[in-house]
Amino acid sequence: MKISPLLHIGRGVTALIGGGGKTTLLYTLTEELRKTGTVVLCTSTHIRVPERYPLVTGGTEELCSTLARHGAVCAGTPAEDGKLTAPPISFEELARLADYVLVEADGAKGLPLKLHAAHEPVIPQNAQRVVLVVGADGFGKPLSQVCHRAAEDSIATPEWLARHISAEGYGDRVFINKVESAEDYAAAEGLASRLACPVVAGSLHQGVYTCLR
Q: What is the predicted pLDDT for the residue at 94?
A: 98
Q: Mind listing the pLDDT tens digit for each residue in 160-194? A: 999 999 999 999 999 999 999 999 999 999 999 99
Type and span of the H or E element at 210: strand 208-211
pLDDT at 140: 96
CA–CA separation, 101 and 89 (whole Å): 12
Count CA atoms closer than 13 A to 103's CA, side-chain side: 30
Report the alpha-carbon distance of residue 192 to residue 96 in Å, rounded: 34
Tens digits of residue pLDDT in 31-66: 999 999 999 999 999 999 998 999 999 999 999 999
Q: For the chain, which domains are there?
A: 12-211 (3.40.50)
Distance (Å, rounded) from C-alpha 163 to C-alpha 194? 8
pLDDT tens-place string over residues 4-30: 999 999 999 999 999 999 999 999 999
Q: Residue 81 pLDDT more than 90?
A: no
pLDDT given for residue 82 in this prediction = 87
Residue 75 to residue 98: CA distance in whole angstroms = 11
Nearest to 18 by CA among 171, 199, 128, 189: 171
Q: Are 120 and 3 in contact (CB under 8 A)?
A: no
